[in-house]
Every structure is written in structure tokens, then in C-alpha cells.
Amino acid sequence: MVISPLQKFRYSYQPKLPAVLAGNIDSITPQKGNATSAKSDERELKALFPNTYGLPTISFVRSDKTGRPGPLNIGVILSGGQAPGGHNVICGLYDAMTKADPASILYGFLGGPSGLTDDKYTVLDGETIDRYRNTGGFDIIGSGRTKLETEEQFEKARAVCHAHNINGIVIIGGDDSNTNAAVLAEYFASKGEKITVVGCPKTIDGDLKNEQIEASFGFDTATKVFAELIGNIERDANSAKKYWHFIRLMGRSASHIALECALQTQPNVCLIGEEVSAKKMGLAEVAEVIVDSVVRRAEKGMNFGVALIPEGIIEFIPEVGELIDVLNDLMAAKADELAAIDDPAGKAAYVRGLLDEKKGQLFDTFPESIRQQLVMDRDPHGNVQVSLIETEKLLAQLVKKRLAALKKEGKYNGKFSSLCHFFGYEGRCSFPSNFDADYCYSLGYNAYLLVCGGFSGYLSSVTALSRPASEWKAGGVPITMMMNLENRKGHLKPVIRKALVDLDGAPFKALAANREKWAVETCYTFPGAIQYAGPSEVCDRTTATLALEHGETF
């Protein structure tokens, strides 16, 4: 296998650990905090998780206590979409468990949660681990999106754990994947099993966070990759001076990625779905935000610009969000009928016939391509696959149409040509930034300590992330405290609450304070490529979001 010079260089990088995790692993001890509770649906969640609800938070500290429980067998699962740093979580887990006892065994279950239920695994040894240190991707064991929700699945997982004498399972994933962890932990506890289940917070979307989880891993790297690409396009736009670039950014439901990239690159327009929802903006009003910038820049002779669009924005437009909710329910109720229709246009026509007059009229306003995208097969959770809806093209068409009307009225005399882009997969498997390499390694190392302590149903938590890595704090938080009930395929299901952009938070306020200027002037900034070596302020810098949330400047 050919190995690039950068890959060789990254192999040699030693991730930084919080001071509490560095040094003698036998002198790390847990401290229990206060009992916890969910912010909503408390009674229902307590009934669903009688054995794992209300657990205390955990923090790790140094003490004189020594000794570990002997060798442990631990299984690890990568779940959901890829995010830079996943390999380092596994590396940190492996290093911690073998440092504590070299006889410990790490089972890597293949292809996601189904690897556990189907008993498909590989034993991860030091030689294998060394080939994946500080690299992107999930290819060490692969990933999957299997939902663990039936007793048959739980019993299969239980039998597999017994067959290999597994003491703990570490699930590396996002909100739905860590819901799997919570449900599996509850099932094992209900059966009196001493198999510990621990989660690790992963998603480039940035929406798995709260007071205890300051950031999901992968967000730092992905936004730096996207910001580099956006900066390159901004430089091109300012050089050619003839295109408006509409850039849709991955992020599913929340707009964290778009917001972070805007703070790094200062585009002319950055739409924030949460603001659109709060202001109850219609589709035409959203397009008008871009139209306003196009017109005002054209008055200054600048017929070019850059607009950032979060991929999930279409769900935040109230009228469209309501339509999508109806479509989700119809798609679930009429799944068999729709499966029998092969033609995308035929599916769209069939669904159109099921809509009431008001929603049918809205459905008709979309171009045919968008109508077909709205009735595509749903994701495993029953939701529209927003990453397949080309919102950037829809908005570009609406802006062009509106500008033509303004030109007829003598209110616009510029030229408008658009180019559309979607940035998503480009950022999911990059070499992790130093921040993500350090953070993920710490999460894995910390996960071992949670398994070692028998803290089942917990999420590995590393905080104080805006500080140098040596000052980070480590511990665990009960997954149930982050949960609420959501409608999934017509049924209320316990899931981890998604963190949306806080319109009263410092990151959004920083955007709001500058966007009027950015809309008219050319204020582009160019982050460039991720740096892995050099001054700490260059290679170890965090995101603007994290810095601003901690009251720091960026």
C-alpha cells in the first residue's frame, strides 16, 4: 500500500491528553456528582428507563488509589455517518485498556450495530491500531445505521457479549446512535447484566451538544475543510467578478456548520434555518434575503457574491416544514403503495393527490425536480432526506425569477449568473485536525475508564475544550438526561434532543453584528488548508463557535 508523506507524518503525531488522564492510569478515580433529569418528558423517560434514568454525573480526578479490575474485553462500534477522528477514539480506547492491562482484548464489530447482533467482528491488535492513528474515515471496522429497538436484537447482542466474555460496549455515534447505547444499556440492566454500555459524541453537524457535551467530534475538522473550500470560491468570485455562488452545506437539521463557516469566511449571505423558523419566513422571504444583497452589490458594480445555505433550511421554513411533516406521515402510511411506483414523477403525482388544497398548492410551486426529491425514500428514521433536496438550486431559481421581475420594474440593472455547490462528503473523512485528533483520543481513553467503573448508559464527556488540551476535564454524563420524545414514523420515540443554533448565543450574535456589512461589501477571509504543525495558534486553534461560546475572541 502506498502511504503519502502526510499520512506517515500523521502516524507519528501523539495526541494530547487532559492532565487528569495523562500519567499513571491506576491513579484515576471517579467522583459522582448530583442526580440528573431530562429537561422534558421526564415522567415518560423515567418509565422507559427505570434502571438508567436519574443517574449522577461523573468526573475523573487524581487520587492515591491504585489498581484496576484486571483484563477487560471491550467491543467497539462505529455508527452513523463518518466524522474525522473516529479512528482516534478507538486508538484512545485501545491504548487505555492495554495500558491498564495488556491482556485486555478489543473487539471491533463490523459494519455498525448489526456487527454486534450478527457477531461479525475483528480483534483489534496493536499493529492494526497503529495503521489508523490520526487518520480520517471509519474504514478500520466500517459503520452502519441499524437501529437497536427490538427484543430479538437485544437478545442477540446479549448472547454475543456472553460468547466473547465482553465486559463493555463502546458505541461511537451521533444522537440516534447514542440513543441505541441508552436503550441497550437499559435492556442489559433490566436483565441484571454487568455489561457496561458507553457512548461517544460524534457528528460533523454539531447538533449533539449541551452543557455537558461542548462539541461533537468531527465538527472542527469538517468546518475547517468546508471553510477552506468556501474561501477558495470567494477568491475565485472576487477574481472573475461574474458569478453568484450558492453553497449548500451539510448539517441535516441544525445550521451550526453554515454559521461556523460564515464566521470563518465572511460571505455576503449566510442563511440560518433557526432564524428563518423564529421569524416565520416564507420561501419567498428567504429568497428575498439573497435578492437584497444581489441588488445592493450590483448598484456598486459588483455582480458577484457568495451565499451559504444550510442543507436543512427547507424544513425550517414553517410552510414547507409543515408540508414535510405531512409528507413524512403519508410516506409512512402509504409505504407499500409508493414502493410499487418506480417512476419518481409518478410518486410525486400520487402523493400530490393525497394532499389537501393548501398544501397541494404549495407543493405545486416547487419545480418538478424538487417535488420528486421531496417524495424520495425516507431515511431509516422516517424523515425526508434533506441532503438530497437541492435547495441551493431552488433558491438560485427563485432569486433569478425575482431579479427578472425587478429588472422589468426598473429596480435592478445588474447581471446575474449563478453557480451551485454542495459541500458535505468532502469534510467527513479528512485527516482530523489536531483538535479533533486530541479530543477523540481523549474521548476513547475516557470511555475505557467509564467501562472500567461500570458506568453504563453514559456518554464520554471531555469539557473545557476552548482551553489547551492539558486543561480539559474528563468524565461522563447519563444519556437519559439529554433525551426527549419525538415523532418517528408516526410513533413517539425516546431520542437525544438535537441542539439547534441559539439565536441568543454569542456565535449567532457575531454573525448578526456583521452580516449587514458583509451583504454589501466584499469582506471575504481565506482560512486556507488545515495546518498540522507550526505555532499553536495556527495548528491547535479551535472553531469560532467554541471560542465565542466560552466568551473568547476568534
End-to-end CA distance of the chain: 40
Measured CA to CA, the distance from residue 230 to residue 427 in angstroms comes to 12
Give the distance from CA 110 to its chain's centroid: 21
The answer to whether 205 is a known catalytic residue is yes
Measured CA to CA, the distance from residue 457 to residue 169 in angstroms comes to 10
Angle at 258 between CA 240 and CA 404, to 5 degrees: 50
What DSSP designation does 456 have? T
Rg (CA), the chain: 24
- Active-site residue (options: 176, 205, 207, 438): 205
Closest residue by Cα to residue 111 from 84, 80, 142 = 142
Contacts of 404 (CB under 8 A, 6+ apart): none
- Burial-class residue 454 by CB neighbours within 10 Å (0-12, 13-18, 19+): middle
Cα 436 to Cα 219, 431, 452, 532, 539, distances in angstroms: 8, 9, 24, 11, 11
Contacts of 538 (CB under 8 A, 6+ apart): 531
Q: How would DSSP label each residue in 94-157?
A: HHHHHHH-TT-EEEEETTSHHHHHTT-EEEE-HHHHHTTTT--SSTTT--B-----SHHHHHHH
- The count of other CB atoms within 10 Å of the CB of residue 285 is 12
Measured CA to CA, the distance from residue 240 to residue 251 in angstroms comes to 29
Q: Are 112 and 145 in contact (CB under 8 A)?
A: yes
Cell numbers at 11, concatenated: 502516524
One-letter identity of residue 249:
L
State whether the Cα torsion 24-26-31-35 is positive or negative.
positive
Cα 306 to Cα 42, 157, 217, 269, distances in angstroms: 44, 49, 27, 7
Measured CA to CA, the distance from residue 142 to residue 499 in angstroms comes to 27
What DSSP designation does 553 have? -
Measured CA to CA, the distance from residue 554 to residue 546 in angstroms comes to 9
Tell me which residues are annotated as active site: 205
